[in-house]
């Protein structure tokens, strides 16, 4: 009698544990991890990019060494973004990335490549300390941020 009653009980306990396993898991999914990763990358990118704009506009004093260091970091970070948008990382409410990224992948990747090449040019030009060359290179880099956000990022 005890055996007959405890067997279904054990079975239901086992089922409960199996079914509750996914909800107990605190580990983010691969898609969520990719979203966290790209948010971090963009935050670091913006942290380094924004002071460049301020210096170029004269809002803060232009410091040749500092500018070149920040520009170099932007150029280093830009190519890392190509890994940050894997399939499965479109999760509504968790990301501001639009679903069309994964439908128009070639155009999106093209913009990422443009960001990488333009920021590499900016890093190179910034070594000269010549603002007449630096400003257009900075403008060209900033335009890619805007163009991509306009099409592929929620406001
Ligand atoms: C090829 C497209 C593309 C380019 C180029 C691009 N971004 Fe973005 N950016 C995005 C997308 C898409 C998101 C939304 C990411 C998400 O929420 O998952 C984003 C998000 C961000 C965020 C918000 C990050 C967060 O924590 O929510 C910042 C800041 C940012 N971008 C800055 C920049 C800057 C600065 C540049 C240029 C130097 C740039 N981006 C270039 C597509 C781009």
Residue 2 has pLDDT above 70, yes or no: no
* Residues of the domain holding 133: 29-152
Write the DSSP assignment of 78-101 as a string of letters: GGGGGGS--TT---TTT--B-GGG
Report how far residue 42's alpha carbon sits from residue 97's, in angstroms, rounded to the nearest whole number. 12
Confidence of residue 13 (pLDDT cuts 50, 70, 90): low
119 within domain boundaries: yes
Residue percentage of the chain with pLDDT more than 90: 83
93 within domain boundaries: yes
How many domains is the chain partitioned into structurally?
Answer: 1
Report how far residue 138's alpha carbon sits from residue 123's, in angstroms, rounded to the nearest whole number. 9
Residue 140 has pLDDT above 70, yes or no: yes
As a whole number, the mean pLDDT across the chain is 91
Partners of 153 in the beta sheet?
97
CA nearest 117: which of 79, 80, 84, 85?
79
Report how far residue 118's alpha carbon sits from residue 144's, in angstroms, rounded to the nearest whole number. 9
pLDDT of amino acid 26 = 79
102 C-beta neighbours (distance < 10 Å), count: 15
Task: Give yes or no for residue 38 CB within 6 A of ligand 1.
Answer: yes
pLDDT of amino acid 5 = 61
Residue 114 has pLDDT above 70, yes or no: yes
Q: What is the pLDDT of residues 57-107, one digit of tens each?
A: 999 999 999 999 999 999 999 999 999 999 999 999 999 999 999 999 999
Give the three-class secondary structure for 153: strand
* CATH number of the domain within which 58 lies: 1.20.120.10
7 within domain boundaries: no
Token pair recorded at residue 99: 């679903």
15 within domain boundaries: no
Residue nearest to atom 35 of ligand 1 (CA): 46
104 within domain boundaries: yes
21 within domain boundaries: no
Task: Give yes or no for residue 100 CB within 6 A of ligand 1.
Answer: no
37 within domain boundaries: yes
């Amino acid at each position: 009698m005890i055996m007959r009653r405890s067997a279904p009980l054990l079975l239901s306990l086992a089922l409960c544990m199996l079914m509750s396993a996914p909800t107990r898991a605190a580990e983010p999914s691969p898609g969520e991890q990719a979203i966290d990763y790209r948010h971090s990358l963009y935050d670091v990118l913006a942290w380094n990019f924004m002071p460049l704009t301020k210096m170029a506009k004269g809002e803060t004093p232009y410091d040749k060494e500092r500018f070149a260091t920040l520009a170099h970091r932007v150029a280093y970070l830009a190519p890392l973004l190509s890994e940050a948008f894997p399939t499965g990382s479109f999760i509504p409410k968790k990301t501001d990335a639009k679903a069309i990224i994964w439908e128009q992948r070639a155009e999106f990747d093209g913009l990422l490549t443009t960001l990488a090449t333009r920021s590499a040019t900016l890093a190179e030009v910034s070594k000269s300390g010549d603002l007449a060359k630096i400003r257009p290179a900075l403008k060209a880099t900033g335009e890619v941020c805007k163009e991509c956000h306009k099409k592929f990022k929620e406001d």
